[in-house]
Amino acid sequence: MPSVFDENNQACSVNTEHNLVAAASQHGTFVVGFDWNNAAAADVFEIRIYKATRPSGTERLHRMWTVRGPQALLTPDSPPFVNVATFTVSIKQVAGTGRTIPWCIVQL
């Protein structure tokens, strides 16, 4: 049964990468979701997921995607990803006016 792993709001400073969770060691399958209602047309965000492939490994960039402006739906969420070591999720606003973005990480 899906459950909330972590949730909060991130006040973004333009060109600063903000960690939403850092080096989380919970094992399982996760999806990261965002509410883009506060975004404006000129706003651009980069979402990154870093993870280690094994418990003794180093976290490396696993996936990155860009969101431009407001979204009609709460998506795009991340595709599900499996964690067996550690993971970090970050958001970086690269254009526009700094916005506060609500987010939630769900464990499937």
- Each residue's pLDDT, cut to its tens digit, for the chain (108 residues) gives 899 999 999 999 999 999 999 999 999 999 999 999 899 999 999 999 999 999 899 999 999 999 998 877 666 578 999 999 999 999 999 999 999 999 999 999
pLDDT of residue 4: 95
pLDDT (0 to 100) of residue 76: 59
DSSP 17: E
The CATH T-level fold of domain 3-107 is: Jelly Rolls (2.60.120)
- The domain spans of the chain are 3-107
The span from the CA of 53 to the CA of 60, in Å, is 9
Confidence (pLDDT) at 85: 96
